[in-house]
Chains A and B, each alone.
Chain A
Amino acid sequence: MTALRTEALEKRYGATHALKGVDLELGEGELLGLLGPNGAGKSTLVKIACGLVRPSRGRAWVAGAPAGSREARAALGYLAELFRFPGWCTADEVLTLHQRLAGSGGGERERAELLDLVGLTDARRRKVEAMSKGMQQRLGIAQALVGRPRLLVLDEPTSALDPAGRRTVRRLLEEVRSRGISVLLNSHLLSEVELVCDRVAILLGGEVVAAGTPAELQRPRGVELETSAGTRLVEGAGRDDAARLVDEAVRSGERVYGVRLLRSTLEDVYLDAVGQAE
């Protein structure tokens, strides 16, 4: 069963067409990265999946249940882009509240495990108002994991984190995936998405303009040759051309120090997709 499926999903806010027929599928244990510029429709898509926004047309299912239904909400954990927990609550109280609301019987053990997972064990009794933004973000991820959801929806989960915090979240996402939980990750950080996601979907103007695994999306950029004459890039050349290029360089009297096959990064793919569509 797919963790998330959308079919011809559309959303209009008055005259604004935020989503224009999005078809998407996220398998069990898969980590899908959602990319796109501001206003591309990423957050709308995420909110429809969570039942916070109603689609104008089309349908969405979470773990086989219509998005927004009780069954769908029971199957997902969500961390909003702009979220806040009450400042007077301690980390433990936030998780206890969400355990009650999610009907989780995990008790103290689950709370301790989740706080340990996000590196907040020592902050268990600390009030939210005394936490840094990064700590609150990690608490938000722990909250989203309450009740062992089948689908974890994270909207910009690392926006307030420093590099060390981001690495913690990356490890956390790998841990989550190893537990068979599917993740929909909405992020602006391309390098982060490239590092952790199984598949990527690029949204622009409410439409999916590119989708696939990072490897599928990347294209050969050429061969870089480092010789005694300097470093040069042979654009359009691929793996099969490498031996020939080295041979030609040697024949022309150059000493070859290195050969590298260059592929486009996700950033190149993203900028190409966004640029082409624009």
Chain B
Amino acid sequence: MTGAVVVAAYALRESLRRRVFAVVALLTVAFLFLYRLGARRAFEETAGVLPPDGVEPQTVVGATLVGLSMFATLFLGTVLAVFLTLGAVRGDAERGLLQPLVVRPLGRTTFLLGRFLGAASVCALYVLLVYGGALLITREAGDGWTPDRVLLPGLELAAAVVILVALSLLGSTLLSATANGIAIFMLFGAGLVGGLLGQIGEAISSPTLERVATRTAWALPFEALYQDGLRRLTEEATGVTRFAVQLGPFGGGQDYGAWLPAWALVYLAAVLALAALAFSRRDL
């Protein structure tokens, strides 16, 4: 474990010195600035609108905005996850950075675990901070409005990014850095499309589309976790308000049941085990 901590610390220092954080921090500040601007305007403009009977406008606007922020946070977290891990194995081996490290006694699995711990902790912390920041902005702009659940959606979002870190590490054992980056963003996109298909399927009552969405979400549990977090924002909303939230592009989410956390853990362990196996069999 000591070896894994040394590698994790090395990966963190590498990210700091390579200014990955600086780039992501700039993007984040830009996002939060725009989000604050948008949130204020959205709440201000809906304050003067007479809502239909039974609709709570603050809940509809707040949930949609936080849903948007969750999507943006997941995207930024994915960018960070990919940047931190895309060349961790094959890319670094091709550049000659990996060989001096893996001939040391720590072993390949420990090395991989270290890279995972470093990237996963940074990405999870980052996601929680951005999510928390977006919630504070929404609360301030929405006159104290908060979602029904605050902590669990944030944790699910962080878990989603941790799964993407693991997938990117697995990809780095098989693909070159560029190919891996593209593959992870395509997986992210596939998950997103699956979620949208589910929403469309629900709106038009298409069991086929809903089934496709469900299977995609179980195959790519980062999407299921995101959808589940989205659902929890308005868990207690009912009636027309709930319907209005579900109509929006970031509304509603899906309930994947009590087995989702367990499946996410099994999935994560399986991806990491595959990555360790692929790395152990790779000639460098």
Task: Judge whether A138 is part of the interface by a CB distance below 8 angstroms.
Answer: no
B10 touches A97 (CB 8 A): yes
Question: Does A179 sit within 8 A of B, measured CB to CB?
Answer: no
A82 proximity list for chain B (CB < 8 A): 96
How far is A79 from B101 in the complex, measured between Cα atoms in Å? Answer: 11
Contact (Cβ within 8 A) A78 B99? yes
Contact at B283–A74, with CB atoms within 8 Å? no
Whether B284 is near chain A, meaning CB under 8 Å from some CB there, is: yes
CB atoms of A102 and B97 under 8 A apart:
no
B51 contacts partner chain A, Cβ-Cβ < 8 Å: no
Give A123-160 as 1s and 0s: 1 = Cβ < 8 Å from B's Cβ atoms. Answer: 00000000000000000100100000000000000000
Residue B239 lies at the interface, judged by CB distance under 8 Å to chain A: no
Q: Does B189 contact A (CB under 8 A)?
A: no
Kindly state whether residue A50 has any CB partner on chain B within 8 Å. Answer: yes
Residues of A within 8 A of B6 (CB): 97, 100-101
| Residue A54 is within 8 A (CB to CB) of chain B in the complex | yes
Which residue of the partner chain, among B14, B17, B284, contacts A47 with CB atoms under 8 Å?
B284
Q: Which of B33-41, B102-110, B153-161, B179-187 contacts A (4 or more CB under 8 A)?
A: B102-110
| Inter-chain contacts of B10 with A (CB < 8 A) | 97
Residues of A within 8 A of B105 (CB): 70, 73-74, 101-103
In the complex, what distance in Å separates the CA atom of A98 from the CA atom of B96? 15
Q: Is the CB of A85 within 8 A of B102?
A: no
* Total contacts A-B at CB 8 Å: 64
Proximity bits, A82-105, B CB within 8 Å = 1, else 0: 111110100000000110111100
The contact size tier of chain B is 20 to 34
Residue among A76, A83, A100, A102 having the largest count of chain B Cβ atoms under 10 Å: A100
Interface residue tally for chain A (C-beta within 8 Å) = 28
Cβ contact of A83, chosen from B7, B99, B107, B281, cutoff 8 A: B99
Does B257 have its Cβ within 8 Å of any Cβ on chain A?
Answer: no
Do residues A52 and B99 form an inter-chain contact, with CB atoms below 8 A? yes
Contact of B104 with A80 in the complex, beta carbons under 8 Å: no
The CB with the most chain A CB atoms within 10 A, among B101, B103, B284, is that of B103
Name the contact of A86 in the complex, choosing from B14, B99, B103, B284 (C-beta under 8 A).
Answer: B14
Q: Does B144 contact A (CB under 8 A)?
A: no
Residue of B nearest to A86 (CB): B14
- The CA of A100 and the CA of B14, in the complex, are separated in Å by 16
27 contacts between A and B (CB under 8 A): A47-B284, A50-B99, A52-B102, A52-B284, A70-B105, A70-B107, A73-B103, A74-B105, A76-B103, A78-B103, A79-B100, A80-B96, A80-B100, A83-B99, A83-B100, A84-B97, A85-B97, A86-B14, A86-B97, A88-B14, A88-B17, A98-B104, A100-B6, A101-B3, A101-B101, A101-B104, A103-B105
> Interface of A with B (CB < 8 Å)?
13, 47, 50-54, 70, 73-74, 76, 78-80, 82-86, 88, 97-98, 100-103, 140, 143
| Complex A-B, nearest 7 residue pairs according to Cβ-Cβ distance, in ascending order | A88-B17, A101-B104, A74-B105, A84-B96, A52-B284, A53-B283, A82-B96
